[in-house]
Structure formats: structure tokens, C-alpha cells
A and B are shown apart, each in its own frame.
Chain A
Amino acid sequence: MFVSEKNLFKRPGKKAGQRSVNKSLVLLFALLTSVFFVGGAHAEVPNATPPKGTHSGEDVPQPIDFPHDIHADINGINCMYCHTYARRSKVAGIPPTSKCMGCHSIIATDKPRIQKLTEYWENNEPPEWNKVHDVPDYVHFTHEKHLQRFVFNNEGMDVANVSEVCAFCHGEVKEMTVAEKVKPLNMGFCVRCHEQNGGPSDCWKCHK
């Protein structure tokens, strides 16, 4: 089920796709419930202590303002549907335009962003996405191992909730339009998490 996206393009960078009607009421209600159910909106990741730390990264401009919230939150698409390589490789991967067109040759074709995407597709050009989460070249980081630890080899973990694991390092991408860097991703951030979750503490495991 896909939701129509009225007024979507007026507020890039903020949570898009929500009507502004009764927004304050909704906010009040959310505030009240969150007092009683701390973190109740999020599924818990078993056997894990999420790393702490925040960061306010600069906005990274993208060729198309890809709305993560519509895809991952409203329509509930699993992160690994598009970021396919995360489960088996170092990098999570940007989906090829063909994957976008798999849905968007039919869905929401009247929207300007999709028309821009279609233009790229018809010109045989890939959109040049800019990297948001980048670790230095001397760091060996593999998505695969982290997903195995927290998702696939984690007892009681539902793969459908993988976005909670992604949020450890990428923040609540579900609530973003284009991805922003909201976690520091520096060595202290990594090491604290490794200490809490039993990750290796050998220098050569991560430094190369």
C-alpha cells in the first residue's frame, strides 16, 4: 500500500509525507505516550547496547531528494531491499537505477522527483549520489559482520526490524528525507560500542 505524497516537495530535509492537519495534537499525544513507553515506538534489538553519541553533519546535497521516510517508514520497505550488499559485503551499496525503476515505472510517475529519475534512466545515466557516511581510508569496516552479529546470528532478532540495527550508526533514517550524518562515527564511538557489545578490541581488526 502506497501513500500519496501531497505537499511533499515544499519541505525537503524534514519529515515529509505527513499532513500538517492536527500536527500539534499528534505531537502532544506522542509526547504523552513517550513518557509512559520510553522508546516504545521502536522495536528493541535483543542482546545489544546501542552506541551513544550524536553529531550534526552538514547537509549533503543529492541529485534527487530521495525520501527515506516514505520508503522505509510509511511503506515499511526493509533497508536491505535497496541496500542489498549490506548483508554480504563491506559496503551497503546504492541500488542501481533499474531497482528504482522496478517500482517507479508504475508508481508515482506523475511526481517531479520520479520524472527526474526517469530522465536519468532514459538517458542511461546513473544519478551521482553523494556519500554521507564515510569513514577514513585507514579504517576497515564491514557491514556484513555487524549485521551478522546484530541481526542474522542474533537470537530473537527479527530481520524485519533491521532498521533498528542500522540506526545504531546511521540514526533514524526512517525520519529523514535525504540521509544525514547524525552519529559521530569516530573511533571513540566505535570502541565504546565494541566494549559494550563484545566486539574485538584488537587494533588490526579495524585499522589497516
Chain B
Amino acid sequence: MSLKNILENWSDYRRTAEDGGHHDYEHMWAMAIDLNKCTGCNACSVACYAENNLPTVGKKRMMKGQGMHWLRVERYWDEPDMGGDEKEYQERGGSFLPMMCQQCNAAPCEPVCPVAATYHTPDGLNAQVYNRCIGSRYCSNNCPYRLRYFNFYSYYEESWPEPLNMQLNPDLSVRDKGVMEKCTFCVQRIRVGKDAARREGREVHDGDVITACAQTCPTEAIVFGDMMDKSSKVSKIWAAHEVELGKHEQHKSDPDLRGYRVLEGLNTDPCVTYLERVREA
């Protein structure tokens, strides 16, 4: 995307919900996460740290909210009296919600970037270009999910002392101070998958590309795939739970269907569907 291209096609890169988001794609990478299966083990988060060169920031900075976990597992605690149900053996305890960038099709972060460092790719991904980012942090403040992370320090100086720097993934850069970053749906793996398909002269099949979190999940709660491929696992899950893209409210034939998208009422049109946890109640 050269400067000329940006200036000419300015509106294409800055579409918001009012413009109908982005719907002319080559692929449409999406996820479905079954919260029934999620045990909150945090393996996905660890996998993400390893795959995406995420720095460890230390306890103090983590408590300030400066952690760089692209995928965080949010914990919610349920007390029996919260449900308002009189049942004796009501379910209690922790429940978990893995949160990564929702790759919104009408992403609130995109139109506010003053330098077009974040934009939508023809793959339906919400891209972040580190070289272009000037660190204004507008995007992070406009993200309703709080899933963008800012490099307040040059974390790489301390995170990987020799010989740990050898573990860094060469397929993506190590970010420096003053740059915003976020989950990319493992775009480096998507690139490899697409290149391999092209080399063999075929379409990308379901299962060719798998993100680090989905690969690691021991209960296979996270499913990743291409929504444009109607036979893919992920689009079948979306269809089975009657969740559709391009809507801010899902009308379901059966209230027992568990699929929902987080904060979809804000009309962000996210690409991650969560399957609600079934409770004893």
C-alpha cells in the first residue's frame, strides 16, 4: 500500500459500521470458541507468547495493566446468590473467556488511526503495520474490547536475555517502544498456508492454516478457519448456532442455541463467535 494508493483509496481503508464494514474478501478468517470446553488452562495464551514474540513485562507492569498478552483468558467468578435462583446445588466457581482481537469487520480502531497504520486486509483481517504506527494510541482507546497493547518500553531488551533470543520467531518482527500491537490471527501462519496452496496450485483447504492458540488448546475449544469456505469447520459452527456476519443482533430460531459475539450490539461485526457455557440452573 503505497502512499499514492492510500490517498486515492482513502475511504476504502477507513470504512466504519455506517459504511457497512468490509465484505468483499478473498478469505474471511474467523474463530469459534466453545466455552463449554474451555477449562481456563491458559495454554492458548502461552502459545501466543511463544508464537508472536510477546515480551514478558514483569509483575509490576502487569498490575499497571501494561501486559502484552495478545490472548488473555478472562476469569469470572460466579457466586450462588448471584443467579437469584433458590436451588440448593447451584453452580459456582470460575468461568473463563479467552479474549483475542475480534478482527471486527467494522473495526472502531481503524477509522481513528491518524496514519492508517491499522486497516482491513482483503483477508478480512484487521491489520496493524508496526512501521507505520506512530503510537498515538487512539485505536486502543477506541477498542471496546481493550485488546490492543502498547509498547510503553523497549521490552525486548529484558525479555529475552541470551540465549533466549534464539527462541524468537523470525516470521514476525520484534516490536520496539512506541508501537501498538495486537493479535493478528497468526498472519504469518496464514501466509505460509496460502503460499503452500499456491505452490501446489490449489485453494486453501480447511485445516491448512491453524493459529497457535487453536493448535495448542488441549480441549479443542478454539476452532479457526475461513468463513468464505462454507464447508469449513468454523462456518459450520457459526451456521449451526445461527450466528451471522454483518448483523448487530442475531435472531435465533431456538433460544437454546449458544452462539454469541461479544458486544455485537456496538455494531463492530466481530469475527469471533463464542458458544455460551451451559450452566446448571
Measuring CB to CB, which residues of chain A are less than 8 angstroms from any residue of chain B? Answer: 88, 137-138, 140, 142, 144-145, 148, 191, 195, 201-204, 207-208
Contact = CB atoms under 8 A, between A and B. Distances in A.
Contacts of A191: 2
B121 A208 contact: no
Contacts of B172: 208
A86 to B, nearest CB: 14
Nearest to B116: A203
Contacts of B174: 137
A199 to B, nearest CB: 11
Interface residues of B, number: 23
A145 B194 CA distance: 11
B266 to A, nearest CB: 25
Interface in B206-249: none
B167 to A, nearest CB: 15
Contact of B173 (A88, A138, A145, A148): A138
Interface of B: 1-2, 5, 119, 121-122, 125, 127, 129-132, 170-174, 187-188, 191, 195, 198-199
B28 to A, nearest CB: 15
6 contacts: A201-B5, A203-B129, A204-B129, A207-B130, A208-B171, A208-B188
A203 B118 CA distance: 10
A137 B171 CA distance: 9
A197 to B, nearest CB: 14
A96 B127 CA distance: 39
A203 B173 contact: no
Most B-side CB within 10 Å, residue of A144, A195, A208: A208
Contacts of B2: 191, 195, 201
Contacts of A208: 171-173, 187-188
Contacts of B191: 140
The main secondary structure of chain B at its interface with chain A is loop
Given A201-B2, A203-B1, A204-B125, 16 more contacts: A88-B199, A137-B173, A138-B130, A140-B171, A142-B195, A144-B195, A145-B195, A145-B198, A148-B198, A191-B2, A201-B1, A202-B1, A203-B121, A204-B121, A204-B129, A204-B187
Nearest to B4: A195
B199 A144 contact: yes
Given A145-B195, A208-B187, A208-B188, A203 B171 contact: no
Nearest to B118: A203
A204 B198 CA distance: 17
Contacts of B130: 138, 207
B198 to A, nearest CB: 8
Nearest to A208: B172
A203 B132 CA distance: 10
A128 B214 CA distance: 40
A142 B131 CA distance: 19
B185 to A, nearest CB: 11
Contacts of A145: 195, 198
Contacts of B170: 137
A207 B188 CA distance: 10
Contacts of B122: 202
Contacts of B187: 204, 208
A195 B8 CA distance: 14
A203 B127 contact: yes
A138 B128 CA distance: 12
B152 to A, nearest CB: 20
A142 B170 CA distance: 13
Closest 3 CB pairs of A and B: A138-B173, A203-B129, A191-B2
